Amino acid sequence: MELRNVLGGPLQECGLDPVTGFTRSGRCEVTPPDVGLHGVCAVMTADFLAHQQELGNDLVTARPEWRFPGLVPGDRWCVVAVRWLQSAREGRAAPVVLASTHESVLQVVPSELLHQHAVDVPDDPSALL
């Protein structure tokens, strides 16, 4: 079964440097063991990382035992949907790559909110003109 994104298409890769995903596949796959729903492909910003740290979710400190490198602004990372939503509600959301965000996120985060923070570039950029 093909994994789907919030746009209804195939789930695209989120990031390989660092390698992200609950399964460390580079994609925001949501599997049964992933009770946290690590499905939002977000581009880290200093503000988002700081807000997450304020909430007790340290995304900056490396944790080798979890194969977690620690993040810096510009990294793409599959974040927990509820955690991303907390930051969005405070006006501190990280940009979202919709094509790489798992469809299950829509159970937690409204589609309109994801679209407000989207940074996707379409296959045909002339549509942006």
95-110 residue pLDDT tens: 999 999 999 999 999 9
How many percent of the chain have pLDDT more than 90? 86
**Please, what is the Cα angle at 68 between 97 and 113, to 5 degrees?**
25
DSSP reduced 3-state for 96: strand
Q: How far is CA 99 from the centre of its chain?
A: 10
- Provide the residue ranges of all domains of the chain, joining segments of one domain with +: 1-119
Whole-prediction pTM: 0.90
Look at domain 1-119 and name its CATH class: alpha beta
Residue-level pLDDT at 80: 97
Check residue 123 and give its pLDDT: 55
CB 114 within 8 A of CB 94: no
Calculate the CA 80 to chain-centre distance: 7
Average pLDDT over residues 115-119: 95
Query: What is the Cα 5 distance to its own chain's centre?
Result: 12
DSSP 3-state assignment of 70? coil
